[in-house]
Each structure stands twice: as C-alpha cells, then as structure tokens.
Amino acid sequence: MPKIKTSRSAAKRFTFSKTGKVKHKRTNLRHLLTSKNRGRKRGLRRPGILNKTDGNTIHRMMPYG
C-alpha cells in the first residue's frame, strides 16, 4: 500500500498535542504591536487549539503527524 502524502502547507502551520488536539499560532502578533497592551500580546504567544471539526480535517491532511 502506498504512503499518503502530507500536506506541506498544513505541516508548516499546525502541530499536534500529546492528546491529539491540533495547535496553531494565534493571529494579531505581526505588526501594529505598539497599540496592543502587554498582557494581550503575552496571551497571543500561547498556542490556540482548533475545534474538533477543523482538527479532524487537519488530521486527514497530516496522516503521520
């Protein structure tokens, strides 16, 4: 049986937690940072977790993740 290709775009954007949840980098931390307060920026450093439906899609795109 042939290997399944991993979606390279998904592999660069998402990682899996140990329990199988899909982690992603949060938005709003690229530019215009002086107008955002320190606590907000600190919170944006933590990874976001995708919901279950979107997570299932990513699991299909990354079969060996």
Q: What are the residue ranges spanned by the domains of the chain?
A: 8-61
Eight-state DSSP code of residue 29:
-
Confidence of residue 65 (pLDDT cuts 50, 70, 90): confident
Total number of residues shown for the chain: 65
Per the CB < 8 A criterion, the answer to whether 6 and 24 are in contact is no
Smallest CA-to-CA distance from 26 within 9, 43, 51 is with: 43
pLDDT in tens, 23-64: 999 999 999 999 999 999 999 999 999 999 999 999 999 999
8-61: which CATH topology? Factor Xa Inhibitor (4.10.410)
pLDDT tens digits for 7-22? 999 999 999 999 999 9
**Which residue intervals of 1-65 are DSSP H helices?**
8-13, 38-45, 52-61
Written as six digits, the tokens of 43 are 């919170």
> Residue 14's Cα: distance from chain center in Å?
4
